[in-house]
Structure 1
């Protein structure tokens, strides 16, 4: 079994804002969601809508898979507060998906056996982002982020 984890520090951190469920700050949009399975669908809808608003329809499919995996992992932590899901544009050529939760347990990518029924989520995130994902530990939780390159910035 191979274990991998991308632990980083820096601008991956989501700033928890006012009590409003959705707010936007200079190309950053966030939504607070409960730790329930139905939050996965809500996160997908939120990211899909934001990327379409930004004219990044080509990234929607990959972004929806990524946020689904990250929110599913957060739901499994068993936290009782609310998670924060965000999407932002750190550069013109990058979209960053962020999921903040109240667990200090770090996500670990495992190499799942061929007959395994789970354990491939972070491997998919790793593949879709070309390894551009990571974790920022916080005093009371963490933020997992995953970066996608906009189609105009992809080398041909």
Structure 2
């Protein structure tokens, strides 16, 4: 069981480090006067500041609103840490770790910049996806895998009853 905790918090640390390092590289690039990087015909690296939560919802305009978002994210992060601590499988512990690492990465941004630094920009066929970062990737991947685990577990449980 302690091994699960180690895996979860290692996932948290890895996601957090990759997120913060990537943001520092991007910030350094753009603050040096450079412009967006066209990586492919459908992917650019740009600099964006998200003052809201997912997809820019609930954008914080004042410093008190930023602190409110930090407080909410801090509470959620605390709960995620508890879930890692109580995880009953390696898989769920790692998934919770990815989500926690992403949440903490975005909290750090809000604390230092008042907004989340986003830079991954995908577009195709005239459609543009929301700009995001490595922290967001950790959150989405961890959450999707947890949902898949839950659906798989429900399916297995139903098969055992039949």
Using structure 1 for the length normalisation, give the TM-score.
0.32
Larger Rg: 2
